[in-house]
């Protein structure tokens, strides 16, 4: 039976309803490694927050194996590949996942170790796709 990651969808919804989730993620993420903040120096964070909000939804759907998001995942991976307009070294993706999990822990009142591990597993799938494209 396929894993649809409904638990992540529900958790993500709780995080967004709490307000400030995406902003807090970026606070954690930008402070997580010295190489990350400089990558965002010229970033329009209003646009970036919209992109991340959509990107997390796509990543959850990708983990669930939904074919309709494969094109979007490929496009996001190309953007972050070494030849893309915003290259991201694969070694930095762990900080992204850690930061996301930390933000979920803060914002989802139902977060527990099992759910946070599911977040790691689900987001690890999109990171693996990006790393392959790097």
Total-model pTM: 0.95
Model confidence pLDDT, tens digit, residues 69-120: 999 999 999 999 999 999 999 999 999 999 999 999 999 999 999 999 999 9
For 89, phi then psi, to 5°, come to -65, 135
Q: Where are the domains of the chain?
A: 6-133
Q: How many CB atoms lie within 10 A of CB 35?
A: 12
- Are 12 and 22 in contact by the 8 Å Cβ rule? The answer is no
> H-helix or E-strand containing 127?
helix 113-133
In the DSSP assignment, the letter for residue 110 is T
The sign of the CA dihedral 84, 120, 7, 65 is: positive
| Residues 6-133, CATH architecture | Orthogonal Bundle (1.10)
15-57 pLDDT per residue, tens: 999 999 999 999 999 999 999 999 999 999 999 999 999 999 9
């Amino acid at each position: 039976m396929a894993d649809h990651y409904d638990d992540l969808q529900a958790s993500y919804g709780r995080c967004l309803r709490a307000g400030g989730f995406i902003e807090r993620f970026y606070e954690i993420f930008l402070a997580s490694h010295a190489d990350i903040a400089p990558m965002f120096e010229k970033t329009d964070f209003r646009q970036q927050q919209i992109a991340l909000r959509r990107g997390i939804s796509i990543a959850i759907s990708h983990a669930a194996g939904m074919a309709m998001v494969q094109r979007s995942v490929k496009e996001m991976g190309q953007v972050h590949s070494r030849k893309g307009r915003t290259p991201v070294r694969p070694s930095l993706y762990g900080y992204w996942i850690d930061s996301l999990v930390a933000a979920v822990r803060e914002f989802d009142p139902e977060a527990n170790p099992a759910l946070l591990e599911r977040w790691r597993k689900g987001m690890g799938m999109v990171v693996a796709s990006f790393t392959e494209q790097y």
